[in-house]
Structure 1
């Protein structure tokens, strides 16, 4: 029996992809590293006891890491895949965490206006077909002064033969790091260079997973001389904001 997804544009993941999202590699080398990096990109003190929304929570592997990093008073997980939500519920129970789970499309968030302090969107945005609408929804649900924690793989990584072979994505919406940052600015989010990073992690190298560099057969290119495969950004909704 096929899964009834909560988005008409949902792109179903491969079996390998679903397995990978349960793996130690995903939790330790992807999620943990991204959350630690995002935490370090804040220019101001972290919000105290925030309402934190994980948009595209998948199987809930981020919950413990988010709890440790941001100590939310209220943690909400949202996903358009009912099966993933079931796994998120089991993960929250296994970790002894109180998590509110919502079945919703990111382009039509079932979340109140101005109700969220931190919105965590990690490796979710490149799965979304209606990216502009999703970003408008992120802006809407964030409180004035709230933060979008945005962490994404770029087209330079997604559009490689190994990623196309192992995973499934809507290829026509993939963007460069600059393209994603431009979207955030156009929506009205504020951030400076100190709030952006371009991680160059082994698993994100677009051709050989950094093998030649680890063997010292090639020197890594510095920022500005390479096509970025990852971009992380902590973007703030202005205190006095009008939804575009």
Structure 2
């Protein structure tokens, strides 16, 4: 099947299966959405147009609908097989979802047409990251929110993840580098809008087992290489003058 992105890096069979799993939906997606929702300043947007950029198999749809009550929910992905799964998932959940076969670096939506853009564990799959971020900026309305949740290179570049999944290794970044990309694009956020989850599944060397068994002390924040970063960033109402 033809993919919407020439630079698309196809997932492994295990990876595709994992994105259908209970662990993915409840220990990864649900936790990230709850965390991101808590990082938003002020009241939640009312009846937003919500875009899930890199929706995969649509396991986020019901969670996003419950968390944000969007007036319009859009799922975007470059992989037609994933979009077919997303369509089936939306039907199973009884949700109306507009599905778009598109590259994140060339989103087929109008300028300033989206209130909330959810990008969860998608960016580390993208080769053209700067172009994708510029597209996120373009389609978001002034004042719109980018809900950005990513794994960093300290998680992706480990033997177990390299063995089980497939990623473009040359574009992987640290948490600080991802945050710098967002700022360079013009997005605004404060320390209170950022979190660094240290979840069991992100402990790539042993999934936190040694700490759970009391054989290793967990490293405190500031003394470890962060494996995850969540941030709620806002496109300002007025353009920034540099």
Partner of 1:138 in structure 2? Answer: 136
Q: Determine the structure 2 residue equivalent to 1:161.
A: 159
Deviations 1:129-148 (CA, angstroms, capped at 9, x unpaired): 00000000000000000000
CA RMSD of aligned residues (A): 1.1
Equivalent residues of 1:160, 1:206 under 8 A apart? yes
Distance 2:120 2:186 in 1: 20
Shift of 1:206: 2.7
Q: 2:112 matched to 1:152?
A: no
Normalized against structure 1, the TM-score is what?
0.98
Aligned length: 242
CA–CA separation in structure 2 for the residues paired with 1:211 and 1:55: 33
Alignment equivalent of 2:39, drawn from 26, 38, 41:
41
| Structure 2 residues not aligned, in runs of 5+ | none
Structure 1 pair 109/143, CA: closer, same or farther in 2 (3 Å)?
Answer: same
User: Which runs of structure 1 show a deviation greater than 2 angstroms over 4 or more consecutive aligned residues?
Assistant: 241-244
SS of structure 1 residue aligned to 2:163: helix
Query: Cα distance, 1:45 vs. partner?
Result: 1.0
Tell me by how many angstroms 1:117 deviates.
Answer: 0.5
Kept in 2, the 8 Å contact 1:140–1:243? The answer is: no
Q: 1:100 corresponds to which residue?
A: 98
Q: Mapping of 1:109-188 within 5 angstroms?
A: 109-188=107-186
Return the match for 1:237 from 225, 235, 238: 235
CA offsets, 1:200-226, max 9 Å, x none?
A: 000001311101000011111111110
- SS of residue paired to 2:141: strand
Q: Any unmatched runs of 5+ in structure 1?
A: none
Q: In structure 2, what is the equivalent of residue 228 of structure 1?
A: 226
User: 2: CA distance between counterparts of 1:66 and 1:216?
Assistant: 36
State the distance in 2 between where 1:131 and 1:167 align.
19
Offset, 1:199: 0.1
* Residue in 2 that maps onto 1:60: 58
* Distance in 1 between residues matched to 2:101 and 2:241, nearest whole Å: 24
Tell me by how many angstroms 1:242 deviates: 6.1
Residue 200 of structure 2 is aligned to residue 214 of structure 1: no
User: Contact 1:199–1:231 (CA<8 Å) still a contact in 2?
Assistant: yes
In the alignment, which of 67, 70, 77 is matched to residue 68 of structure 2?
A: 70
